[in-house]
Amino acid sequence: MTFFQFADPAFFLLLLLLPILAWWAGRMGPEAAVRFSSITLVKGISQNRHSRPGQFLFGLRLLALAALIVALTRPQIGRMNDSTEAEGIDIVVTLDLSGSMRALDLSTRDDIVTRLDAAKRVVDSFIDKRTYDRIGLVAFAANAYVVSPLTLNHDWLKRNLKRLELGEIDGGGTAIGTALGASANRLRDHQARSRIIILLTDGENNAGTLSPIAAAEAAKTLGVKVYTIATGKKGRVPIPETDRNGRVVRDREGAPVYRGRSDISNYDETELTQIAELTGGRFFNATQDGDLERIYDEIDELETTEIELRSYSSFTELFIWPAGLGLLLLALEQLLRNTRYRRLP
């Protein structure tokens, strides 16, 4: 925001002296531009006739003084600047890419999506809200791999999130413990004010060599908080068509193709709750459309970022312009006084 001000407006009081000077000069009579050794030659001139050159020169001097007084008030153009200092937190989003994430039970009549599609949408929106936080991304199925290390480059992070598809890694199992261990390891060497893992899965731990509880104990030792989210409904759920590589078959508009197939879905709510409570986090359950948005919004409110806003102003001094004008008028007055309106001895 830009604004104009006078740094020392008290100097404007000096302008009150100018009409006093003008009154005093009028009372004393204007100074003649030409002096005569004898008044014999000018006896015929009316005594009420003033010296116009003298008045003009005196007026220039008053204008010069007015300009110099304005310069003393230090006119300035100011610009208000805001500085933001934020102490962000470190977040690792851990997504399940096992085959069961292709289930369509989070869909609506007008929006056919897999569990992974729904999760990616919500995570994308969550990233947008965490401007000052470093966020990493870990994907897992039978194994876990780091999709993105902790980064503040959220555009790059979201591009990597968008590329995640079922079938990219072995989807024949769910290694929750391995995924938790990989996520906690990403946070090991970072000393942010708060470090959290958001684990989203729809299955039970049935792969990997590290148990989820052991991984949670390690996370607790590192001071890492884990939020667990069980997504989808238990029991038989609709699933889309898949190709020979396990990838979801989609139509021209990108929606999964559903032809009446179904599969059994299950997750260990007790174990996920234990992981969250052990590390100081919370367990959430998303069973229908809108639940994931609500859960991530709640986590966003629970894990706040400390932001300090500071405002400061920068100024450009403009006194040089009225000062220059005043000096120019004084120079002009002196020039005219010594040339065109020069006094004769």
User: Over pLDDT 90: what percentage of the chain?
Assistant: 35
Are residues 30 and 12 located together in one domain of the fold? yes
Are residues 269 and 329 located together in one domain of the fold? no
Are residues 167 and 243 located together in one domain of the fold? yes
pLDDT digits (tens, 9 = 90+) for 227-238: 999 988 888 888
pLDDT value of position 49: 47
Are residues 63 and 112 located together in one domain of the fold? no
Kindly report the three-state secondary structure assignment for every residue of 55-83.
Answer: HHHHHHHHHHHHHHHHHHCCEEEEEEEEE
Say if residues 148 and 154 touch (Cβ distance below 8 Å).
Answer: no
pLDDT value of position 266: 83
pLDDT digits (tens, 9 = 90+) for 180-204: 999 999 888 877 778 899 999 988 8
Residue 60 pLDDT class (50, 70, 90 cuts)? confident
Residue 18 domain flag? yes
Residue 75 pLDDT class (50, 70, 90 cuts)? very high
C-alpha to C-alpha distance for 204 and 267, rounded to whole angstroms = 5
pLDDT value of position 327: 92
Mean pLDDT value of segment 109-113:
78
Say if residues 101 and 115 touch (Cβ distance below 8 Å).
Answer: yes
Are residues 168 and 239 located together in one domain of the fold? yes
Mean pLDDT value of segment 33-37:
53
pLDDT at residue 170 greater than cutoff 80: no
Average pLDDT taken over every residue of the chain = 83
322-to-6, 65, 74, 325, 329 alpha-carbon distances in Å: 13, 10, 9, 5, 10
Are residues 157 and 93 located together in one domain of the fold? yes
- Helices and strands (H and E) in the chain: how many: 9, 11
Residue 344 domain flag? no
Are residues 62 and 110 located together in one domain of the fold? no
Question: What CATH number does residue 105 fall under?
Answer: 3.40.50.410
Residue 276 domain flag? yes
DSSP per residue, 262-286: EEEE---HHHHHHHHHHHT--EEEE
Are residues 198 and 246 located together in one domain of the fold? yes
Structure tokens given for 243: 């190709």
pTM of the model: 0.64
Are residues 122 and 235 located together in one domain of the fold? yes
pLDDT digits (tens, 9 = 90+) for 266-299: 888 999 999 999 999 999 988 877 888 888 888 8
The count of domains in the chain is 2
111-to-33, 114, 325 alpha-carbon distances in Å: 94, 10, 71
Residue 203: give the domain boundaries. Answer: 89-304
Helix (H) / strand (E) element for 235: namely strand 235-238
pLDDT value of position 181: 94
Residue 345 domain flag? no
pLDDT digits (tens, 9 = 90+) for 211-260: 999 999 999 999 999 999 998 888 888 888 877 666 778 877 777 787 67
C-alpha to C-alpha distance for 243 and 112, rounded to whole angstroms = 18
pLDDT value of position 248: 74
Are residues 99 and 225 located together in one domain of the fold? yes
C-alpha to C-alpha distance for 113 and 236, rounded to whole angstroms = 17
Residue 159 domain flag? yes
pLDDT value of position 178: 94
Residue 106 domain flag? yes
Residue 327 domain flag? yes
Residue 30 domain flag? yes
Are residues 330 and 298 located together in one domain of the fold? no
